[in-house]
Structures are given as C-alpha cells and as structure tokens.
Amino acid sequence: MIAWRKSQARAAPWFLLPALALLAVFVVWPMLRALAWSFTNADLLAPGQGRGIGLANYSDLLADPRFRRAFANTALFALLVVPVQTAAAFLLALWVNRPEPAWRWLRTAFFAPVVVSMPVLAVLWTMLYQPAQGREMGLVNALLGLVGAPPQAWLRDPSLALPAIAAMSLWQGVGLQMMVFLAGLQGVPRELVEAARIDGAGAWARLRHVILPALRNTLVFVVTVTTLLAFRLFVQPYLMTRGGPGTSTLSLIQSIYETTFVAQDLGRACAAAFLFLLLVGALALVQRRAAREERA
Amino acid sequence: MRAIAAAFNAAHAAHAAQRVRVVLTFFPDFHYTEKIAIAAAARDLPDVLDLDGPLVARFASAGLLRPLEPWFSAGELADFLPTILAQGTVDGRLYALGAFESAAVLYYDRAMLAAAGVAPPPDGRGWSWEEFLAACARLRRAGIEPVALHMNEGADEWFTYAFSPVVWSGGGHLISADGRRVRGVLASAENIRSLRRWQDLFRQGFAATDPLDPDPFGHGRVALDWSGHWMARSHAAVKGDRLGAMPLPAAGAQPVAPCGSWCWALTTAAREPALAARWLRWVTDSRHGIEPVVQANGAVPARRSAFAAFPDYARPPYRLFRDQLEHFARPRPRTPYYATLTSQFAAALRDIAHGADVAARLLTAEDEIQSVIDRREPAGGTAVPPAATGETAP
C-alpha cells in the first residue's frame, strides 16, 4: 500500500506536466508579458519599442473620465442585473419544477435564448426597441402604445439605454441560472419538505425555512457567476449602441478593446486589463468570504 | 482576386530563377484591421498588404511601410486618379496605391421628384443645402419619404465617409493639417453650423434615424438616396431611366465629394522589395489588376487608362463618379490617429442625428480624441515630424 502510494507520488508530476506546460505557455507567460507591457508606453504596431513609464498607465487610467465612466456603467449594469436576474431565475425555477413532461417545453423555452448567439439577439432586440418613426415602431413601443404609454427611444435615450440593455441581457441570461436553480431544487430532500408540510408549515414557510437554506450553495454560486458575467458586459452594448449615446452604455471591456485596437495603445490597454482582473478577482473573493461567513 | 494572382504567377513562372510567387491570404473582412495590427505586433506582416486608405498614415508613421516612388515612373503615377495619390501620400511620400476608387452621390428618382414638383439640378451640379431642404419639404408635402441616409450601417466608417463632406463643404475640417490636433478644429463654428444643418434632416423628419430597410430607395420608399457607387448597378437595374445622380448637397458654397478605398502597400517585412513591388504593379495595372477587380466589385477604376474598358463611364451616374474624383473629391484626413478620429466622429454623428446638442457633442468628441493624441505626442507632437493631411489643400 505504501509502495503504491509512493509510486503514485512519483508519477503525479508527470501527469501534471502537460497541463502545467500548456497553462504556462498559454496563460502564465502571456499574462506576464502583458504585465510587463502595462508599465511601458508600448505601441501595438511596434511593441518592442516601448519605454518604461512606471505606474503612469495605471494612475492615468484611474483619473481618466472615460475609463471611470466605463467602470460606473458596468457596475450599474451589474447592480441592475444581478439581483433581478437571480430572483427571476429562482422564481422561474420554482414555477417550472414539476415532473409532468409538458413542463419540459416551458423549461426549454426559457433556456433557448442562452444557446442563441448573442449578436443575433442583439440585432433582434435592436429591432424590438426600434423608436417610433412616423407610424413604424418596434414591438416594445407598439406594446406600450396598447396600454396608452408614449413610445420611447429606448437605445437612443441616454437615461434608458443601459436599463434597456440590462433588460435584454436579463432575458437572455436568466435561463442558465434557472437551470442551475432547478438542479438545486431537485437536490432538496423531499422528506424534508414533506416533514415540514406535516408539521403544518405553509408554502411560504417551507420556502423560507426549508428550501432556501438547502439552496444556499446554489445561490452563492449563481450570484457569483452572474456578477462575473455582468462585469464582462461587451457584445450587447457594442452591437446595439456602440457604447452610446455619448458614453452612457460604454462598458469596461469595450474601453479596453478600444484602447487596444482603435488607439492601439498596448501599454495602457494591458494596464486596463490588469485593473479589470484585479476588480473581478476582488469581487469573487468578497463574495466567497461573505458566503463563508454566512455558513459559519 | 484569385484569378489575378493566378495570372500573375503564370506570367512569372518563366522567371524560374527569380522565384516570384504570390500567395494570397484572405481574411474575413470582419475585424480585418485588428488582424493586421496583430500581425504587425507579431512582426508577421506579409510583403504586400491590402489596407483601408485612411489607415496608411498609421502604418507609415509606425515605420512599417516602404515608399513606392522607386517602383513607379512619374508618367505611370500621373495615370492614377489624383485622389488615389493623395490618399496614399503621407509626409510627402507615396506609400500606397489602390486599384479602385469610390464615390458617394445623391441618387434620385426622376418620377418621384416630378410627382412632388421638384426639379433636379442641371447635370453634374448639386443642390445647396437650402435647395436640398426645400426639395425634402416638397416631397414630404407630396406624401413621399424624402431621403435615405443609411444610419443603420453597422460600421463607423460609413458615417465618416459619407458625412465628412458636409463638414468640408461648410468650410471646416476634422483635424489640423499636421493630423495631431482636433482641439479648436472639430468643434469649430463652421462645423457646428454645418452639422446643425445636417441635424435638420432628422429634426424635420426628412430622414430616418433608425431605418430598418437597407435599401429603401431601391424598394421605392424614398425619393433620394445618399449612398455610394456600390449601389449604382442595382439602382440602375431597378429604376432604369428614372435614375438620376447629383453630387452630395453642399453645406457651404462648394460641393465636396468623399473618396478613398482599399489600397496596396509594400511593408518593411519585404526582404526583396523589388520582387514584392512586381505584384503591387501587377495588381494596380489597368489590364491585369484593375479591369478584373472593377468588373467584379463595381467600384471606380483607379487609373485613367482603365476607364476605356468601362463604357458606362460615359453616362450618368457613372460619369459623375469620375468627374467628382477628378475635380472635387477629398480624401479623409491622413493622420496616425485616424482610427480614433473616425470612431469618435461617427459616435458624435449618431448622437447628433438623435438630437444631441451639436456644439456640446463635438466638444466631447474633441476631448476624447485629443486625449488619445496627447498621450502619444508629448509636448505638442515633436516626436514625429508633422505630416500634411491634405485637409487644407485638396
């Protein structure tokens, strides 16, 4: 037994090697290169000729109104999306969590937008949000008209564009979280729910005191993943508004993309990417910490 | 394109000693510019590169392109349209030549104008802005949608390409002559006035800010079409004799036409530039390069000697394409910051069309563009010798 364990220990590095080598070449090395560039004024077209400029890229970015606006937009998007999407996914999961086969269709319907390519959905929703022009208007405005509300220029109005994109993103992403919650719900021991029912707990009490506590890990997972995905916002605003009107839907990723490929300012773009990495890493850590404290 | 390369390789197979062979690498058009930037960063550029005209200055100022004068005689260069030479010239050196040019015009449907009692201008002349707005108003009163501006174009470049002439014809510029300063240039009084006039088209409901139909003119839904040479074939097929074309309306006294196209450049990666230049000469040669390309893509031939093969150019609307390129077209500014300039200008135009305050929006664009320039050009841009962008002298 001991000999077997020893041979295992000896073999382990060899089994790890291919994965570690690939990670080193395709993840660690590029990240170190990017980190080194972030302290220079390297030009994308001539990266070798950059000069070291210390932390100037970082201090510059933190003071840059455009980058700060991109951060504020992205954070606001996350604040709009994460709580609502999590709650909506949970309610949908409760609703469709039934054994009869007919409910499968509904589950599929809610999940469908997750598997459709985002650019297609972006074009589709741009049409739905079409502002009124003469008698022609998008479906959203037409529906508003049915209840007597005036049409809105959804994606063209600085105060409505980000919420409109958040609503579309929520619709697109909610199916995935719903599936995770469904899996969680089906893992709740039936005996527990039945016991609560026999003890006279109503539907609300069962939900509050039995189902939710059993789903805590699922909930933490869903909130963490939704937050990280929300901060990676890019495709929807890039295709639907190009970050406009003004900078009202400019996302962090779009600002990094533009610094890299439009301004072609490689050093600054790498610095921005590292600030983004720090931000997302910090968020993940904070949420883990919060989850652990609740469990204790 | 493959056929042109095959012909080149066949013609040069005899020179076995020199081993000249063209290997074409096609990329999907999507994000092509990003892809060649990455290739430059990885020092993996091909010997000869096809790129969009306004990007030549960026690649040239990064030292990635070779001047082309050694490979073309003065007589050969004089055969190219003036706009092709202007587009490829940075800091007084020629870095790129295209096989074809482009044109944007105001197409019109004679029958629809007649129905609204609007008279088109004499052949070859355009409308002043007042005449343009008056025509739109008459069309509207006759129950006809006036004009399509194609605001649904996904690419930023359409906006800069199609609507810079509004700025230019109003006496303004997008960027200073050295291509390094937009402050005080982009948000000038002239530009604010010109773009307010442009904004009137949307304010008064003459043009759609969010059209869905990519070709409302071809579908008979609007009377005027602010569009490019690439629509000429299909418009002519649909409209026949009803199709007319005039230069774009001028915001000031003189009309200015847009121009520019994809063009070929010789990179510093070419170890044997003389051999690489052969391909460049071949692909910009009237018979071997321009004729087949123009047959295929319907663009405007880049050399005067090539027009003989295209009898359409004796007639409108094609004659107008050539006339404006010869006489009153202006290339987009040649500045290493073109990519930033065009994306910010396009964003400003989108917002202005949707009702943003013109002066404030142009100032914001100025700030955004200038901050990108200033990061690269410490203390007023002494790092790189100033380039003439051709913004001031046509």
Q: Which pLDDT belongs to residue B17?
A: 46
Residues of chain A contacting B362 with CB distance shorter than 8 Å: none
Instruction: Report in angstroms the alpha-carbon separations of B33 from A263, A267, B164.
Output: 12, 19, 21
> What class does CATH assign to B104-258?
alpha beta
Asked if the model's pLDDT at residue A292 lies above 80, the reply is no
Helical (H) or strand (E) element with B65? strand B65-66
CA dihedral angle for residue B161, residue B162, residue B167, residue B169, rounded to 10 degrees? 110
Is residue A60 within 8 Å of residue A268, measured between CB atoms? yes
Q: How far is B16 from chain A (nearest CA, A)?
A: 35
Sequence-ordered list of residues with C-beta below 8 angstroms from that of B248, at least 6 positions apart, any chain: B104, B105, B106, B126, B162, B165, B166, B169, B226, B255, B256, B257, B258
Is residue B51 within 8 Å of residue B329, measured between CB atoms? no
Angle at CA of residue B262, ends B257 and B265, nearest 5°: 125
What residue type is assigned to position A292 of the chain?
Answer: R
CATH number for the region B2-102+260-330 comes to 3.40.190.10
Q: What is the pTM of this model?
A: 0.88
Give B385's pLDDT tier (boundaries 50, 70, 90): very low
Give B26's pLDDT tier (boundaries 50, 70, 90): low
> What class does CATH assign to A59-295?
mainly alpha
SS3 sequence, A41-95? CCECCEHHHCCECCCHHHHHHHHCHHHHHHHHHHHHHHHHHHHHHHHHHHHHHHH
Cis peptide before B122 (omega within 30 of 0): no
Task: Write down the mean pLDDT value for chain A.
Answer: 90
Interface test with B, best of A45, A67, A124, A135 (most B CBs within 10 A): A45
Asked if the model's pLDDT at residue B380 lies above 60, the reply is no
Instruction: Give the tens place of pLDDT for each residue, B202-242.
Output: 999 999 988 888 899 999 999 999 999 999 999 999 999 99
Cis peptide before B249 (omega within 30 of 0): no
Sequence-ordered list of residues with C-beta below 8 angstroms from that of A281, at least 6 positions apart, any chain: none
Strands B65-66 and B222-228, how do they pair? unpaired
Give B315's pLDDT tier (boundaries 50, 70, 90): confident
C-alpha span between B374 and B326 (Å, rounded): 36
Sequence-ordered list of residues with C-beta below 8 angstroms from that of B235, at least 6 positions apart, any chain: B107, B217, B218, B225, B243, B317
Strands B89-90 and B262-267, how do they pair? unpaired
What whole-number percentage of chain B has pLDDT above 70?
Answer: 92
Q: Which pLDDT belongs to residue B27?
A: 61
> Does the CA dihedral A203-A207-A211-A213 come out positive or negative?
negative
Kindly tell me the burial class for residue B346, based on how many C-beta atoms sit within 10 Å of its own C-beta (0-12, 13-18, 19 or more): buried
Q: Does B41 touch chain A (CB under 8 A)?
A: yes
Give B188's pLDDT tier (boundaries 50, 70, 90): very high
Q: How many CB pairs under 8 A join A and B?
A: 77
Judged by CB atoms closer than 8 Å, whether chains meet at A156 and B209 is answered as yes
Phi-psi region of B89 (alpha: psi -120 to 50; beta: other; left: phi over 0): beta
Give B394's pLDDT tier (boundaries 50, 70, 90): very low
- Over residues B322-328, the mean pLDDT reads 95
Q: What is the ipTM of this complex?
A: 0.83
Hey, which residues does B300 pair with through a beta bridge? B101
Per domain, the residue ranges of chain B are 2-102+260-330, 104-258
Sequence-ordered list of residues with C-beta below 8 angstroms from that of B138, at least 6 positions apart, any chain: B116, B117, B118
CA dihedral angle for residue A177, residue A183, residue A187, residue A192, rounded to 10 degrees? 60
Q: How many CA atoms lie within 13 A of B92 on its CB side?
A: 2
Residue with tokens 């002519």: B236
Asked if the model's pLDDT at residue B14 lies above 60, the reply is no
> Does the CA dihedral B40-B92-B103-B254 come out positive or negative?
positive
Using DSSP's 3-state secondary structure scheme, residue B224 falls into strand
Instruction: Report in angstroms the alpha-carbon separations of B209 from A181, B105, B205, B212, B224.
Output: 42, 19, 9, 10, 15
Of A45, A127, A242, the CB nearest to B41: A45
Judged by CB atoms closer than 8 Å, whether chains meet at B41 and A266 is answered as yes
Asked if the model's pLDDT at residue A293 lies above 80, the reply is no
Helical (H) or strand (E) element with B151? none
Q: Which pLDDT belongs to residue A203?
A: 83
Judged by CB atoms closer than 8 Å, whether chains meet at A242 and B59 is answered as no
Is residue B96 within 8 Å of residue B65, measured between CB atoms? yes
Sequence-ordered list of residues with C-beta below 8 angstroms from that of B292, at least 6 positions apart, any chain: B3, B4
Judged by CB atoms closer than 8 Å, whether chains meet at A45 and B58 is answered as yes
Task: Write down the mean pLDDT value for chain B.
Answer: 89
Q: Within a 10 A sphere around the Cβ of A36, how many other Cβ atoms?
A: 14
